[in-house]
């Protein structure tokens, strides 16, 4: 039996070398030996994405993309379809878990300089992946056709209309008419599906870029000796496995013990174009950008600021000219970067509150620091910052 199995594997390998390719890229692949648990969040995001796609296919089988039946079909999934409530909770919880993993993943990349050469393409594909996830999530947010879905979409459409030249044609193409209706909902449904599967392609591209450039590590230096690396399996498969157990425990706790925090109460009421909610509030993962959108009185200015807050991330590999990657060895950056993370959290909190008084000024201060950090601090710091000495090997203790 063993000889027959070996003959079959040799026959397949000679014609389609998938086994050796898998072993080379996912078993024997050399990884820095000093990675910490922040490197697990890429695996977390992949698992969350897989669960989102599987649960989304099930939901699509029972969803009707029309303004008269969309909300009722969601209610049917929750109340009548066998285990429908569970699949929908997995889908809703998966969005939050995916965004949380992506934000930590990007924050880790900023802190340890994972955007620097030779990993610029890895950084850019990761940001492209984030944009696709945001587009998919926003389209999916509209599909239940609840009050917050409808009015959230209205806010974004109005912001698009403020763009000169292309704004109104773009909004008209998306809507397919004068306002949100059957045509718009159907197009958003298709957009949700197309972008969801496009994400898978970007994940493949992102992983391919990772395997070409190799993984960064907390010290930010390249492995110099054979002992600086270990094979991906069993060292990081077991480490990822332990992290995934904890990740899935949090995921399950969110689904079974705190389902009400996955969406806003207003979204449990069917969309009514004649009744505007007192406060139009986005989901938490869009809240920082919603706060930026409202930070200035101008619709166009807010839209440009919100888009620019993401766009500036694409320029980070060229804005930061320091030869040192990791913030561990950059004393000023080690202070400035945590403040940036706090500014992002503050924007999220501001986006969940009305844009008046205290919260309006919090959002303005936070977005000012966001741009100050990327456009002034990051390019200027290499001129004045004196980095700490870098270790010569990944096996040296942290200094």
Q: Annotated catalytic sites, by residue?
A: 211, 215, 239-240, 283
Where does 315-356 have alpha helices with state H? 316-319, 333-351
251 CA to centre of own chain: 16
3-state SS, residue 283: coil
> Rounded distance, CA 91 to CA 54, Å?
9
> Rounded distance, CA 290 to CA 112, Å?
28
The token pair at 195 is: 């972008």
- Side-chain-side CA neighbours of 98 within 13 Å: the count stands at 25
The token pair at 198 is: 């496009």
The residues near 57 (Cβ < 8 Å, ≥ 6 apart) are: none
- Which neighbouring-strand residues pair with 270? 146
Q: Are 93 and 263 in contact (CB under 8 A)?
A: no
Q: Are 63 and 98 in contact (CB under 8 A)?
A: no
Q: What is the DSSP string of 214-263?
A: ----TT-----SGGGEEEHHHHHHHHHHHHHHHHHHHHHHHHHH-GGGGS
> Rounded distance, CA 293 to CA 368, Å?
13
Q: What is the DSSP string of 160-193?
A: HHTSTTTHHHHHHHHHSSSSSSHHHHHHHHHHHH
Where does the chain have alpha helices with state H? 2-15, 18-26, 41-62, 70-79, 84-112, 120-142, 147-161, 167-175, 182-213, 232-257, 287-293, 299-314, 316-319, 333-351, 357-372, 378-384
Q: Are 325 and 112 in contact (CB under 8 A)?
A: yes
- Which neighbouring-strand residues pair with 230? 31
Q: Are 255 and 330 in contact (CB under 8 A)?
A: no
């Amino acid at each position: 039996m063993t000889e027959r199995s070996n003959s079959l594997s040799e026959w397949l390998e000679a014609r389609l070398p998938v086994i050796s390719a898998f072993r080379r890229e996912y078993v024997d692949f050399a990884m820095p030996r000093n990675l910490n648990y922040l490197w697990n969040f890429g695996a977390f995001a992949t698992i969350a994405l897989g669960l989102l796609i599987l649960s989304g296919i099930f939901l699509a089988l029972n969803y009707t993309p029309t303004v008269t039946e969309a909300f009722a079909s969601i209610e049917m999934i929750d109340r009548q379809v066998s285990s429908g409530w569970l699949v929908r909770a997995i889908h809703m919880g998966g969005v939050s878990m995916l965004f949380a993993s992506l934000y930590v993943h990007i924050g880790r990349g900023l802190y340890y300089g994972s955007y620097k050469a030779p990993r610029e393409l890895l950084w850019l594909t990761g940001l492209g992946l984030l944009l696709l996830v945001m587009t998919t999530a926003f389209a999916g947010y509209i599909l239940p056709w609840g009050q917050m879905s409808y009015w959230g979409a209205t806010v974004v459409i109005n912001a698009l209309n403020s763009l000169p030249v292309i704004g109104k044609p773009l909004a008209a193409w998306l809507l397919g008419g004068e306002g949100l209706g059957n045509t718009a909902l159907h197009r958003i449904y298709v957009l949700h599906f197309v972008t969801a599967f496009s994400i898978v392609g970007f994940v493949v591209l992102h992983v391919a870029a990772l395997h070409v450039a190799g993984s960064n590590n907390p010290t930010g230096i390249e492995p110099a000796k054979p002992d600086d690396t270990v094979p991906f399996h069993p060292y990081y498969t077991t480490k990822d496995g332990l992290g995934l157990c904890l990740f899935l425990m949090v995921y399950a706790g969110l689904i079974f013990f705190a389902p009400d925090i996955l969406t806003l109460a207003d979204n449990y009421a069917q969309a009514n174009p004649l009744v505007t909610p007192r406060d139009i509030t986005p989901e938490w993962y869009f809240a920082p950008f919603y706060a930026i959108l409202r930070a200035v009185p101008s619709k166009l200015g807010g839209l440009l600021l919100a888009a620019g807050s993401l766009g500036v991330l694409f320029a980070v590999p060229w804005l930061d000219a320091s030869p040192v990657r990791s913030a561990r060895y950059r004393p000023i950056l080690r202070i400035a970067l945590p403040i940036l993370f706090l500014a992002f959290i503050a924007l999220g909190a501001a986006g969940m509150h009305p844009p008046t008084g205290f919260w309006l000024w919090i959002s303005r201060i936070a977005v000012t620091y966001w741009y100050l950090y990327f456009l002034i601090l990051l390019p200027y710091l290499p001129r004045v910052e004196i980095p700490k000495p870098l270790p010569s090997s990944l096996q040296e203790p942290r200094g």
